[in-house]
Structures are given as C-alpha cells and as structure tokens.
Amino acid sequence: MSHQDQSNIEKMVFRKTNSQLGRHISVSPGNSTMKHLSYGRIILDASLPAASFSNGDHETGLVCLSGSAEVKAGTQKFHLGQYDAIYIPRDTQIEVKTDARADIAEFSADVAHRYPLQFVSHQQISKDPSLRFIAGGPANTRDLNVLIGKNVNAGRLLVGFTFSEAGNWTSWPPHEHEKMLEEMYVYFDMPEPAFGIQFVYNNTQYPELITAVRDGDAVLMPSGYHPNVAVPGHRIAFLWAMAAHREVEDRQFGVVNIQPGFQAGGSGLEVARK
C-alpha cells in the first residue's frame, strides 16, 4: 500500500465517535476525505443537559438515536424521541436540551441556499413503504429507514439508518455513486461483542479497505463500492448520510451503479424511487 493510500484510509476511518459527553464534531472536510459532509455527536445527560450552536453556512440533520431531547431551531421547538429527525436550514441558532439523557447524531453540509425547517417523525415515515422497507433477500435482508430523503426539501443531505438481520450483508449488491454523492456510515446500537466488517473499494479483486467496525465507529465512502456484513448471531446497524456534490441536482437516493457481475435482481433500493 502506498503512503498516499494509507493517508487516505486514515481519513476514512474514525473510531468511537460516541465516547464523549457534549457536542463533538468527529468528521469534517478539514480532517477527512469528505468534500461537503460533516458528522458529530451530541450526547447529553443530567451532568451536561444542553448544547447550543449556530450552523453557519451548513444545513443540519439531527437524528435521535436514544433517549429524548427538545430541539430549539431559531424560534421553533420540537421534541425528538428515538429515531425522530429534524432538518434545520443554514444560518440557524440551535439549542438541544434533555431532562434525562439523549444521544443525537449531527450531520451537516455546506449549502448556498436555505430550505424549510422540517421535523421528521420516525413513526410517520414507518407508514410510508417508500421510506421504510425491507430490502434484499436470503443472507442480505435489512430494514431500511429513510429519514431525510424525498420527504424533505434540502440542498445536499440525505440521512437514514439500516438494520441488518443477524449475520447478514447489507449494501448488497455492492454499489457506488461517487459522481453524485459522497457517503459515510456510523455504526450504532451494536453492543459488545457485536461487530461487522466494512469494505470500501474501487479495486474489485483486492479491496483497498476492509476493516472491523464496532459501535460508535464511522467509515467514509468518498468513492467505491461499500458493502458490509454482520457477524453471526448479531446484526449490523448503521446511520448512513450522504451529501450531494451538486446542490439539489445530485440529491437523489437510490441512483447507483452496481458492481459488474452482481447486477441480477437490481439494487434493492428501487422502491425508494417510487
């Protein structure tokens, strides 16, 4: 492996991003292979019950992974329960508070324009078969949830999460979308000893990146195919977040190129395009 390859891999794998209390940004274009996408965690409890910040020229997507929180965006307030999300336009003052404990993933991307503030109820999206659906078949069955997709008017961000069946592959068949979208996976709700194996590669014979992934880790996909697999007896669970290269124009979920040789049966994402 060349020094350049090693340097890129160091900018693609971020460990234990959920290990600190408060608001911490782990991934940004400044320290990673991303051009637009940033990611952090807001973890609050009784000892540190609030965090506030302004998102500047970034649109922001917040996803509540556990607990609950009140989010104030500008003058409006929203209650986020588990798996609820909120899309917040750029140039907004944001405050997050909890009266118990909250673990919130924060994704953002630079945008030129402002788009409408929107709360997304996971309970509501679960009733829409194009936003929550079972994809795949034997050995690659997964529960796919689109939180910030075609249901939200945004500039670059697409955000959701996926649960595999125990021991199954996801993001299968292998696919890529680098001309339109960069992506990252953040693994969550995978208590020890659960882990998965994540691939990111352009070389289909000998993948450049194969790494074990555990709860709180993040792996970036600036390009290349990116399937993963859970170990037997455990599921892999991950947030996925994408940023469109061209604002609005490239913000399309499910437009992918499948790895040659694996095209039979389609991508499994077609239902989200309906």
pLDDT in tens, 102-114: 999 999 999 999 9
- At 114 the three-state DSSP class reads coil
Q: What is the mean pLDDT of residues 256-269?
A: 86
Question: Who's near 67: CB < 8 A, 6+ residues apart?
Answer: 44, 82, 98, 100, 101, 102, 103
What is the structure's pLDDT at 187?
A: 98
Compute the radius of gyration of the chain from its Cα atoms.
18
* Amino acid sitting at position 112: A
What is the structure's pLDDT at 3?
A: 47
Give the residue among 140, 131, 165 at the shortest CA–CA distance from 274. 131
What is the structure's pLDDT at 2?
A: 45
Residue with tokens 């911490």: 24
pLDDT > 90? residue 34: yes
Higher-pLDDT residue of 6 and 261 is: 261
Strand-pair partners of 143: 134, 163
pLDDT digits (tens, 9 = 90+) for 162-197: 999 999 999 999 999 999 999 999 999 999 999 999
Output the CA torsion sign for 247, 248, 254, 260: negative
What is the number of alpha carbons within 13 Å of residue 145 lying toward its C-beta? 24
What is the structure's pLDDT at 44?
A: 98
Q: What b-and-e string marks burial along 87-102, b requiring 16 or more CB atoms within 10 Å of the CB?
A: bbbbebebebebeeeb
Higher-pLDDT residue of 11 and 269 is: 11
What is the structure's pLDDT at 1?
A: 46
Cβ neighbours of 3 (radius 10 Å): 7
Mean pLDDT is lowest, of 39-53, 90-104, 131-145, 258-272, for 258-272
Which of the four pLDDT bands, split at 50, 70 and 90, describes residue 7? low
What is the structure's pLDDT at 240?
A: 98
Which of the four pLDDT bands, split at 50, 70 and 90, describes residue 204? very high
Output the CA torsion sign for 57, 15, 146, 182: positive
Q: What DSSP string runs through 79-112?
A: EE-TT-EEEE-SS-EEEEE-SS-EEEEEEEEE-S
What is the structure's pLDDT at 269?
A: 80
- Which of 3.30.930.10, 3.40.50.970, 1.10.1740.10, 2.60.120.10 is the CATH number of 3-273? 2.60.120.10
Residue spans of the domains in the chain: they are 3-273
Indicate the pTM of the whole model.
Answer: 0.95
